[in-house]
Amino acid sequence: MAKITRKTAVRKSSVPKKKAKAKAAKPARAAKTSLKAIKPKTVKPKTIKPWTPAEIHEVFSRFRKANPAPKGELEHLNPFTLLVAVVLSAQATDAGVNKATRELFQVADTPQKMLDLGEERLRDYIKTIGLYRTKAKNVIALSAKLLTDFGGEVPRTRAEIESLPGAGRKTANVVLNMAFGAHTMAVDTHVFRVGNRTGLAPGKTPLEVELGLEKVIPAEFMLHAHHWLILHGRYTCLSRKPRCEVCLINDLCRWPEKTV
């Protein structure tokens, strides 16, 4: 009879343990495989059917009929006060800006008067507006730049307006359109939402939506187009609960979740 040493005993006792581990591992692998098998496949959304030129013309014809001469809701007296109001409206409501600027524009409606007012006193007028300290600094700085670089007048090109402190592309588009009648498309949160939700001009960025809308909207509607879209987004095509039941373009809208 063979003598069983301690090492032999250890080797023999270790074999069952390895087999046990292997057997235990098999069900785990099988379970993992089964989870993969039942995982649902990602279904790609259906491509939205592009708008036809006739449909786009119909949309803006309806907007025009309902509101022939839409106006921006920011109160202003001249191109300069419009520029200031738009700069102040960043991350703020038009109503809130109007409340602050009604008194402000009575005492400072030109770049020189704004400089004479000074940053500290300007802050007192606009302190109810978000980010008022930064905005006051920008308004004083852009007033100074208008005087030194543009003879105290609001420039008429996008690049020049964008060179002013606190003014970006949207600000430039609003001023060019409202003050000088340019066919620009200012894309705020409302226009961005409407462009994407309706399928008129889908885009991941405001610039993509802007260029998309300019491409498809007929020239005859471009003067007022951004106002119609802003108002539509602000009062009808709401972010959380769109009022599809009263929407002028419900039958043409491509949004798959329309309520009616």
Instruction: Please give the positions annotated as active site.
Output: 170, 188
- Give the ranges where 67-153 is alpha helix by DSSP (H): 79-88, 94-107, 111-117, 119-126, 132-150
What is the Cα–Cα distance from 192 to 116, expressed in whole angstroms? Answer: 38
Residue 171 C-beta-side C-alpha neighbours within 13 Å: 26
Rounded to 5 degrees, φ, ψ at 181 are 70, 20
Could you tell me which of 175, 8, 177 has the C-alpha nearest to residue 89? 175
What is the Cα–Cα distance from 191 to 86, expressed in whole angstroms? Answer: 16
CA distances from 64 to 168, 213, 216, 250 (A): 28, 17, 16, 16
- Residue 128: DSSP 8-state: T
Where on the phi/psi map is residue 59: left (φ > 0), alpha (ψ -120 to 50), or beta? alpha
What are the structure tokens assigned to 65, written together? 């009929």
Is the Cα dihedral 190, 193, 197, 203 positive or negative?
positive
CA distances from 104 to 85, 107, 187 (A): 10, 6, 27
